[in-house]
Amino acid sequence: DVKVTQSSRYLVKRTGEKVFLECVQDMDHENMFWYRQDPGLGLRLIYFSYDVKMKEKGDIPEGYSVSREKKERFSLILESASTNQTSMYLCASIQQGRRGETQYFGPGTRLLVL
Amino acid sequence: AQTVTQSQPEMSVQEAETVTLSCTYDTSESDYYLFWYKQPPSRQMILVIRQEAYKQQNATENRFSVNFQKAAKSFSLKISDSQLGDAAMYFCAYRSALRGATNKLIFGTGTLLAVQP
């Protein structure tokens, strides 16, 4: 079974703090994604990565950056957390190139910025 | 740009009854996938069912089936014999299957399904 894990289920941070959200997958997937989930808005793509050291902006990248130093790990970074970044963050991964393959999601990290 | 619309923020069904969740999408692409994902209260998002646009036959997975109307750009999910464990947020999602496209998913806003005992 594919396993996507996220470092924390719940986080509470203060405005201005630097926040790291970690995601690890154990299936050697090339593609990894960070989504943000908000009520009434569904999931929106923040950043994604095709492979190690490669990253692409999604639909809402402002205020975020990412790091992919190893294939299995994809980190989302909030350089200076703000209250409007309070949200649920979901990581996902998928095998590149296989027709019909689906994304596998982590359990999510609920971030509260005070 | 592709969009996905779920017009029912909340739905309710009696246990053992059938419920249909609606989803419409907009795209100019000819090759794509459509998905229904389920997110129970524990928050782990899991795939319910998948449909490839070039396949005319509607996908089915046990009690879950879809009604895929490509011309109308409609992709509804039918849950038969509803169970208490079906209570969750359901998301409809789109992904391009064109060569060179990213694997990113475009999600609808979700439908919260309650199952009444």
Helix, coil or strand: residue A11: strand
pLDDT at A2 over 80: no
Cross-chain residue pair A48–B105, CB shorter than 8 Å: no
Provide the pLDDT for residue A101: 74
> Closest-CA residue in chain A for B95?
A102
Q: What is the rounded average pLDDT of the residues A86-104?
A: 83
CA nearest to B14, candidates B78, B77, B82, B76: B82
Of A40, A92, A100, the CB nearest to B52: A100
**Which string of b and e fits A91-114 if b means at least 16 CB within 10 Å?**
bbbbbeeeeebbbbbbbbbbbebe
pLDDT digits (tens, 9 = 90+) for B64-82: 999 999 999 999 999 999 9
Q: 3-class secondary structure for chain B?
A: CCEEECCCCEEEEECCCCEEECCEEECCCCCEEEEEEEECCCCCCEEEEEEECCCCCCCEECCEEEEEECCCCEEEEEECCCCHHHCEEEEEEEEECCCCCCCCCEECCCEEEEEEC
Q: What is the rounded average pLDDT of the residues A32-54?
A: 93
Residue B84: phi, psi to the nearest 5?
Answer: -55, -35
Cross-chain residue pair A40–B105, CB shorter than 8 Å: no
- B97 CB near a chain A CB, below 8 Å? yes
Taking a C-beta distance cutoff of 8 angstroms, is the pair B64, B55 a contact? Answer: no
Q: What is the rounded average pLDDT of the residues B77-94?
A: 97
Helix, coil or strand: residue A104: strand
Provide the pLDDT for residue B101: 74
pLDDT digits (tens, 9 = 90+) for A63-81: 999 999 999 999 999 999 9
> Closest-CA residue in chain A for B36?
A102
Cross-chain residue pair A99–B97, CB shorter than 8 Å: yes
pLDDT at A98 over 70: no
CA nearest to A90, candidates A53, A56, A43: A43
Which position has the higher pLDDT, B69 or A2? Answer: B69
> Closest-CA residue in chain B for A39?
B109
Tokens of A73: 């790990």
pLDDT at B51 over 70: yes
Cross-chain residue pair B44–A48, CB shorter than 8 Å: no
Could you tell me which residues of chain A have a Cβ less than 8 Å from any Cβ in chain B? 31, 33, 35, 40-45, 48, 56, 58, 88, 90, 92, 94, 96, 99-103, 105-108
Provide the pLDDT for residue B19: 98
Provide the pLDDT for residue A95: 76
Provide the pLDDT for residue B99: 75
Of B37, B50, B109, the CB nearest to A40: B109
Provide the pLDDT for residue B56: 85
Instruction: Give me the amino acid identity at A39.
Output: P
Provide the pLDDT for residue A10: 94
Tell me the average pLDDT of chain B: 93
Cross-chain residue pair B91–A44, CB shorter than 8 Å: no
- B46 CB near a chain A CB, below 8 Å? yes
pLDDT at A90 over 70: yes
Q: Residue B81 region, left (φ>0) first, then alpha (ψ -120 to 50), else beta?
A: left
